[in-house]
Each structure stands twice: as C-alpha cells, then as structure tokens.
Amino acid sequence: MLTKMWLKANATYSRYVDNEKGAQALEWVALGLVVLAVMGAIASGVGDNTSIGRTIVSKLEEMINKIGGGGS
C-alpha cells in the first residue's frame, strides 16, 4: 500500500515538474516586454531631445553603421 502511494505521488510530482508546456511562449513574452521597455525609454529620452536621448541615438547610429559597413 505504501509503495502504491509512493508511486502515485512520484508520478504526480514528475508530471508537474516535467511539464514545460508554454515555457517557451512565456520566454518570448518576457523578451517582448523587455524590448518594449527599452523602446519606451529610448522614445522618452529622444522625444525630449535631452543629452541621454542624443547619446542613445548616436550610439545606435554607430552600431548600425558598423553593421552596414558605412560611416557618416
């Protein structure tokens, strides 16, 4: 009887621990939220034409130029 209870409890535990259904979707949602937060920070900094906004824009331009092989 104790063995049956142990096996049933172990199977139930394993089912919940091994269930990774939806984990990848949750990771994509979290990544999307991070991207939105960064974009919001950039937009608020650029919109006010503050020094942080200019710095962010210039760094992004540098990165894009390095990727594209161009320069300005």
Mean pLDDT of the chain: 78
In a domain, 17, yes or no: no
Q: Which helix (H) or strand (E) holds 19?
A: none
In a domain, 44, yes or no: yes
Within-domain flag for 15: no
Owning domain of residue 44: 40-72
Question: At residue 49, does pLDDT exceed 90?
Answer: no
Q: What are the pLDDT digits (tens) for 15-43?
A: 766 667 667 778 888 999 999 988 887 77
In a domain, 16, yes or no: no
In a domain, 7, yes or no: no
* List of residues 6+ apart from 45 with CB closer than 8 A: 52, 53, 56
Number of domains in the chain: 1
